[in-house]
Structure 1
Amino acid sequence: MANVNHVAIVGPLPPPAGGMANQTKQLASFLEAEGLKVTVVQVNPPYQPKWAGKIPMFRAFVRLIQYQRALKKQLADVDVVHIMANSGWSWHLFAAPAIKVAKRLNKAVVLNYRGGYAADFFAKSWSSVRKTMDLVDDIVVPSSFLQDVFQQYGKQSRVIPNVLNQARFNPESRQASMKPRVIVTRNLEEIYDVETSIRVFAGILQAFPGAELKVAGTGPELSALEQLSKSLGISEHVEFLGRLSPDEIAALYKSADLMLNTSVVDNSPNSLIESLACGTPVVSTNVGGIPKLVTDQHDALLANPRDAESLIKLSLSLLEDNSERERLTKNGLLTVEKFSWSNVWQALASCYQAAYVGAKND
């Protein structure tokens, strides 16, 4: 790409292997494969010294100082700074400082904003957020849902989907299960409402007594969810797998008959796309950007949040109707094509070039 040879990505890296961390790592790898030099400025490095991580207030101060130093040093020679941003404290602690340092160094800045809480965050903090956001050269969001949020605040953005690793997430080598296998691949946090997924599975189990539920993820709700499984009398059918590697997650998708997503807040969850790419049908809530990510009755089945009864009915309709499951699976594989690297790279290269030229002309 003319003029742009060196890109810095500012964002988290695994561990833990969350959505943004995985996207940061994956994006760096794909950009390097295109011949670009890539520098990753990690916002969540291990604490140095290690003992600092045991002191809550002190560790935040240490990390902030080290982060500021890393930004000044590692952004000095780059052409474009690609900042992975989110709402809340993540914005104030990581995204905003990176924008300010990059612009003081006269660098082109591409803000890659994500997160289902954007509307709430902007409503509370827009006056301070806007001042920093005005400094960036381009804004990228992974969904039209977030694009609409930015538009409400007078900010133009371009939609560039999250990239899907098709070498990992594909329908090849699917494993036929002897009994219905339902999976959940979200962290065990309130916003993902895994409680409803467990209640939905209890309903599925009444129709399919041999069914099993595999839950991949970690979080503060683990104990409560384990207790719920026991109280519903289904604990012997439910397995909490903890945090899995990307390859293990792909294998889990390929072993499943149904993926359940019962989140109450969401934007453009990678888990839905990864599931569809592996040929696993999806039953999900219709919150946030999900109805713009998939289409109800076309490539997924959607219901209102916390509506366990409707989610049970949709799940059973898929498990009981092979032709319906095959139709949704076929459409889902077509949907995920837009997340291929070739499509994402074409849009991203144009974005980088425009930001670079714009910054040079300022």
Structure 2
Amino acid sequence: MKNLLYIGNKLSGSGLNVTTLETLSQNLTAVGYRVATASSQKNVLLRFADMLFSVFRYRKADYVLIDTYSTSAFWYAFAVSQLCRVLTKKYIPILHGGNLPYRLKQNPLLCSMIFGYAHQNIAPSHYLLHAFEKAGFTNVSFIPNSIVISQYPFKERKDIKPKLLWVRAFAALYNPKMAVDVLVALQRNYPDTELCMVGPDKDGSLEATRQYALQQGVTVTFTGQLSKADWTALAAEYDIFINTTNFDNTPVSVMEAMALGLPVVSTNVGGIPYLLEDGKDALLVNANDVSGMVSAIDALLTTSELAHTLSLQGRQKALNWDWESVKKLWIALLQ
């Protein structure tokens, strides 16, 4: 069986959310691949050095997988990919950044150096697949993010209550304050509306959101980081999942919410319209459109048939993301 090196952020031990690196590397190991990973170093410079050193250390690996984002982590991917080129190692960028299409336009030379020489680029969304094909890259394939469906107990929703769940790392680009604004607006007509926000802090946004809720005079439950088992168990107490992000690709938390049977209301940014179908398996609104999200939630609360449809169709779509199906695509790629 082949040896793999997987490069990316592995920081759940430092209080951040579990990343694709951690879940996918475990899944690939379970089907027989030997997978080394880097890096779990919390310090940025040490993490960068560890990634590069690991490419030397595991230079006999058959493939190097590289989690590739559009902001600061883009430079990890650039450096690692160029070192792989020097060492004539086959590398596979896994495209995660919701703003990567912007990076393709702003830095075409750097992007051609990374993506043009890759063994294959993996797009977890049709959004990024189309963006890379439009930019002229022919070495790009679609493999969706995956979940283990058996880990998500389905609860059918129909007659629901205004109990909102938000799950994400607290970062400005995910617009967590919008969730507070939605709560404030909903409580005018639904005084019993509740909001629970789950996730670790990434850039100071957790405390900023907490203070914002206090300023607005509303009570929000902030749990901090929870394990997957803990937050999926907590989800049974809530009826609507909201996603307020300004930039996105294919958020796993949204996929997980659908697997749990939570009707999803999301902003329609980035890859979201490629992941969700408005009115069929989710409700979509414009970025930062508080009134639009409030109206969508009101429709769920007043139309049990709509809530029921989204609950059932969301779970049905989530079945397509089960690892048992997705693993066949990875095995075919890594043959």
Deviations 1:247-293 (A, max 9, x none): 22212322210011111111111111110001111011111110110
Contact 1:183 1:213 in 2 (8 A): yes
1:228 aligns with 2:212: yes
Distance 1:107 1:133 in 2: 14
Alignment size in residue pairs? 331
Give the unaligned 5+ runs of structure 2. Answer: none
**Is 1:187 the equivalent of 2:169?**
yes
Mapped partners of 2:294, 2:20: distance in 1: 32
1:127 aligns with 2:124: no
The question of whether the paired residues in 1 share the 8 Å contact of 2:71 and 2:97 is answered with no
Deviations, residues 294-320 of structure 1 (Å, cap 9, x unaligned): 100000011111111111111011123
| 1-structure distance, mates of 2:268, 2:238 | 21
Residue number in structure 1 paired with 2:73: 90
Amino acid at match of 1:155: F
Contact 2:158–2:304 (8 Å) recurs in 1: no
Alignment partner, residue 36 of structure 1: 33
Q: Counterpart in 2 of 1:333?
A: 315
Select the residue among 224, 228, 240 that pairs with 1:242: 224
Deviation at 1:178, TM superposition (A): 10
Give the Cα separation in 2 of the matches to 1:17 and 1:296.
34
Change (3 A) 1:26 1:297: same
Distance 1:176 1:288 in 2: 29
CA contact (8 A) 1:272 1:282 kept: yes
1:264 and 1:24 map into 2 onto residues whose CA distance is 23
Q: How many Å apart are 1:85 and its aligned residue?
A: 1.1
Deviation at 1:206, TM superposition (A): 2.5
Q: Deviations over 1:231-254 (max 9, x none)?
A: 32212xx11111222222212322
- 1:19-168 equivalence runs, <5 A: 21-42=18-39, 44-46=40-42, 53=43, 60=45, 62-74=46-58, 76-92=59-75, 94-156=76-138, 157-168=140-151
- The answer to whether the 8 A contact 1:41-1:71 is kept is no
Distance 2:251 2:218 in 1: 28
* Residue identity in the other structure for 1:29: Q
Give the match for residue 327 of structure 2: 345
CA distance in 1, matches of 2:51, 2:27: 25
Structure 1 runs (4+) greater than 4 angstroms displaced? 16-19, 174-179
Secondary structure of the 1:112 match is strand
- 2: CA distance, partners of 1:134 / 1:343: 28
Query: Given that residues 128 and 271 in structure 2 are in contact (C-alpha distance below 8 angstroms), is that contact kept between their aligned partners in structure 1?
Result: yes
Identity of aligned residues (%): 24
Identify the residue that residue 236 of structure 2 maps to in structure 1. 254
1:108 Cα deviation after fit = 2.4
Match in the other structure for 1:49? none
Shift of 1:11: 1.5
Q: Matches of 1:38 and 1:153 in 2, distance apart?
A: 31
Give, as a single letter, the amino acid of the residue that structure 2 aligns with 1:260. Answer: I
SS at match of 1:87: coil
Structure 1 residue 69 displacement after superposition: 2.0
Question: Counterpart of 1:10?
Answer: 7
The superposition leaves residues 47-93 of structure 1 with CA deviations (integer Å, 9 ceiling, x where unpaired) of xxxxxx5xxxxx62x5444432222012x22212211111233122x
**1:309 and 2:291 matched:** yes
**Structure 2 counterpart of 1:161, one-letter code:** P
Does the Cα contact within 8 Å between 1:262 and 1:306 map onto a contact in 2? yes
Q: CA deviation at 1:328?
A: 0.8
Write the distance in 1 (CA, Å) between the matches of 2:253 and 2:290. Answer: 20
One-letter code of the match for 1:234?
A: V
**Partner-residue secondary structure (3-state), 1:89:** coil
TM-score, length-normalised on structure 2?
A: 0.91
Give the unaligned 5+ runs of structure 1: 47-52, 54-58, 354-362
Q: Does the Cα contact within 8 Å between 2:38 and 2:50 map onto a contact in 1?
A: no
Structure 2 residue 280 is the aligned partner of structure 1 residue 283: no
Partner of 1:170, secondary structure, is coil
Aligned to 2:73, the other structure's residue is in SS state helix
SS at match of 2:317: helix
Query: Which residue of structure 2 lines up, in the alignment, with residue 358 of structure 1?
Result: none
| 1-structure distance, mates of 2:119, 2:160 | 53
With the length of structure 1 as denominator, give the TM-score of the two structures: 0.85
User: Matched residues in 1 for 2:54 and 2:3: separation?
Assistant: 16
